[in-house]
Structure 1
Amino acid sequence: MSTMTHDGYIATLEIDEHAGIMHGRVVNAHAVLTFEGRTVKELRRAFADTITDYRDWCRQRGVEPQKPYSGTLSLRIDPVLHRRVAEKAATAGESINKFISDRLAEVA
Structure 2
Amino acid sequence: MADNLEHKGYFGSVEYSSGDGVLHGKIIGISDLVTYQGCSVKELKEAFEGSVDDYLETCRELGKEPDKFFKGVFNVRTSTEIHRELSIMAEKKKMKLNELVNKAFDFLVKNEDKVLN
* Contact 1:86 1:96 (8 Å CA) reproduced: no
C-alpha displacement at 1:14, in angstroms?
A: 1.3
Q: How many residues are treated as equivalent by the alignment?
A: 101
CA distance change for structure 1 residues 42 and 87 in 2, over 3 Å: closer, same or farther? farther
After TM superposition, the score normalised by the length of structure 2 is: 0.67
Partner-residue secondary structure (3-state), 1:64: coil
Note closer, same or farther for the CA distance 1:9–1:22 as it changes in structure 2 (3 Å cut).
same
The alignment yields a C-alpha RMSD, in angstroms, of 2.9
> The residue matched to 1:63 in structure 2 has which SS?
coil
Tell me the TM-score normalized by structure 1. 0.71
1:4 aligns with 2:5: yes
CA offset at residue 75 of structure 1?
A: 6.2
Structure 2 gaps of 5+ residues are: none
Which whole-Å deviations, capped at 9, do the CAs of 1:55-86 have from their partners, x for residues lacking one? 1111111111012224x346689465133146
The residue that corresponds to 1:68 in the other structure is 69
Seq. identity, %:
29
User: Contact conserved, 1:23 with 1:37, CA < 8 A, in 2?
Assistant: yes
